[in-house]
Amino acid sequence: MLDEREVSSFVAGTTQYFEVAAGQPASVGSPFLVTQGTPDINEYTGVITVSGRRQGIVYFTAPRGMLVVMLMKMQESNVGHENLCDLVGEVANTIAGNVRREFGREFGISPPSVVSDGQAMPLPTGCHPIVIPINWRSHTAKVVVCLK
């Protein structure tokens, strides 16, 4: 289970991404623990596998519309499927990378993988995910952290 400092690191890593890359801050809702089932995901999800002192996954899941607006804000006119997948993977990787800077080398992160079909994300056994709601402009996304 993550402690408050660790959750705060993910919140800070997320807000930092939106301030720098999307050029507009995101607001973060209250993180919450999911004790039954799995959190819902959106059309696009970037997944990072974590190894080392902690094991599990971190993912960023966002609706297509949010990713399209983010690409346009970044001056990218190609809002096709491939670029949406690249962006959601980049967001997940950057958030995990921001957290890795604080946790150190013991927090190993994989290259991102992307799921774009909106199906439930399998979670590691033995941990409950923490969902961090993200609000950016009129869109809602989430960072899900499931580490043991």
For residue 1, what pLDDT band results from cuts at 50, 70 and 90? low
Residue 116 near residue 85 (C-beta atoms within 8 A): yes
Q: What's the average model confidence in pLDDT over 98-125?
A: 87
Q: Helix, strand, or coil here: 147? A: strand
Structure tokens, 119: 């199906």
Residue 146 near residue 10 (C-beta atoms within 8 A): no
* Per-residue pLDDT, 37: 86
**Per-residue model confidence as pLDDT tens digits over 128-143:** 999 999 999 999 999 9
Q: How far apart are CA 143 and CA 98, in angstroms?
A: 13
| pLDDT(104) > 90 | no
**In the chain, what are the domains?**
4-147 (3.40.1550.10)
